[in-house]
Amino acid sequence: MTRIVHLTDLHFGQERVEFVNPLMRAVRLTEPDLVVVSGDLTHRGRVDQFRKAMAFLNALGRPFTVVPGNHDVPLFNLPKRLLSPFRNWRKGTGLPTTSDNDLGPLKVVTANTADPLQWRGGILRDDDVARIRADLSTFDDRTTCAVLVCHHPLKEPPGFDRGETKGAAEALPGLINTGVRIVLSGHLHSWEIGLGIAQGSPRPVLMVQTGTALCAREGEVDHGFSVLDIQANEVSVTPWLVNEDQAVFGPKETHRFSRKGDLWYLRA
């Protein structure tokens, strides 16, 4: 079994300060093989905010991989936003905007969907799709599970039908054919585990939309992270949510899925 912790929308620079250490303790407690962060490490894409986020991630003491979100590019500095949108990212994190991980029978690939030409929307770029397909060209989904991490959802849940990720609808069938079986995303600050998968309604991709971990904007609720346990064709997803009064993160109901043939089914 391989365990992934999915964090997203940390928003350092406008984070719930009182949740930072409890979040760190909770992630450590789950002992993941890999922590993935699907964007919005920062609130305004400033170098000091990236360094604060990296200090948090390094303190987890676990391997991690990160991708940018729409908040990780400069907002008000338009020349910088258009000409060098990821300069602060590279300076503050010391990391590329995409990276892939091999975890034995699990392969994690990433896409940078942050789009400097949109304020909040994203884009699934052709070069990212080509790179992912090349990475999975020798993929054997009988023995390996491929997980894609990106900030913007490739398919939006009900109530968020804004078409915010350009190119996603066109690229998704090809990614599925290449072997992508699970997609982890954030951006919406809303939870949706197994989008569209219900009893009698299987889907070819298991999409996990995790809510914000730390964002302090007014009205934000259900801060937390997801824990995925992946073994062969079985996946369980457990949201860990904060108790606001006690500032403690704890597990909630686990969602279990099985893959048969080319489809994911919800397990009773």
Query: So what's the pLDDT on residue 77?
Result: 74
- Among residues 187, 231, 222, the alpha carbon closest in space to that of 208 is found at 187
For residue 138, name the pLDDT band (cuts at 50, 70, 90): confident
Q: In the chain, where does DSSP find H-type helix?
A: 17-30, 47-59, 78-83, 87-93, 126-135, 168-178
Model pLDDT for residues 206-250, shown as the tens digit of each residue: 999 999 999 999 999 999 999 999 987 899 999 999 999 999 999
Q: What are the φ/ψ torsions at residue 163 (nearest 5 degrees)? A: 60, 45
* The model's pTM: 0.95
List, for residues 27-47, the tens digit of each pLDDT value: 999 999 999 999 999 999 999
Confidence tier at 143 by pLDDT (50, 70, 90): low
Q: 167, exposed or middle or buried, with CB in 10 Å at 0-12, 13-18, 19+?
A: middle
User: Per residue in 182-206, pLDDT tens?
Assistant: 999 999 999 999 999 999 899 999 9
Q: How many residues does the chain have?
A: 268
Res. 140: pLDDT tops 90 = no
